[in-house]
Amino acid sequence: MMKDSSHPLTSTRATMALGNLGSSGFPALADALFSTNQRERQLVALQLFELSHEPDVGTNRVLPFVVRAMHDPDPMVSNYAVGFFAKIAPDLVTNAPPK
């Protein structure tokens, strides 16, 4: 349903629903993030990266996807990933010593 380009609203709702499933939705979102057939990959990134706040997923599980997405050819995805990375690891982005 997420990849259904003929029904954009259904695709958006399916993506958001997977994000609300927590760790159960993680595999589908992770696969969709780098799929060239996926519509609205920035929304997929948002839903996947927000799972870092879920205790059963966490930052360590999400971080490799954030780093990979930072180099994505789609500027919407890469810019979002860079911004998200800056929020979760601000000292690494600025090279500032930890506070």
Each residue's pLDDT expressed in tens, for the chain with a length of 99 residues: 888 888 889 999 999 999 999 999 999 999 999 998 898 999 999 999 999 999 999 999 999 999 999 999 999 999 999 999 998 887 765 555 555
Sequence spans of domains, the chain: 8-94
pTM attached to this predicted model: 0.85
Of the candidates 29, 25, 26, 55, the one whose C-alpha atom is nearest the C-alpha of residue 40 is 29
